[in-house]
Amino acid sequence: MTGKLTDIGLKNRNVRRSEEFELYICKGFSGEIVRAFVSSELTLEEAIPTIADQIGYFSPDWEKIGLYNLTHDFEYKSGERFSDTRTEHGDLIMMADGAACHKKG
């Protein structure tokens, strides 16, 4: 699935709505931290390509990308929506290939 900002109603990124999270994404592949906007109703699988579009990252295999919330110390699980997690505006999220963002132990 390739999500585009216009496909999910986030075309005007400067307007933050209550159902959106403004997140800071740490690119695990470069260490750069960038801002992204994500709908609270997106699942992990929908959010990864949406975030990638905003931060200019492409992966041939989205299933190998993981997200970890560094602010609240938890890993996002497959199928869960952001609204069902402890995600808040301004959280710092690690986005990385493979197991690089998975918590050990």
pTM comes to 0.73
6/12 Cα distance (integer angstroms): 9
For the cut 50, the answer to whether the pLDDT of residue 1 exceeds it is no
pLDDT of residue 6: 40
Strands (E) in the chain, as ranges, are 20-27, 33-39, 65-69, 74-75, 92-97
Higher-pLDDT residue of 101, 21: 21
pLDDT of residue 5: 39
What domains are there in the chain, each with its CATH number?
Answer: 19-101 (3.10.20.90)
Q: Is residue 55 a contact partner of residue 93, using CB atoms and an 8 Å limit?
A: no
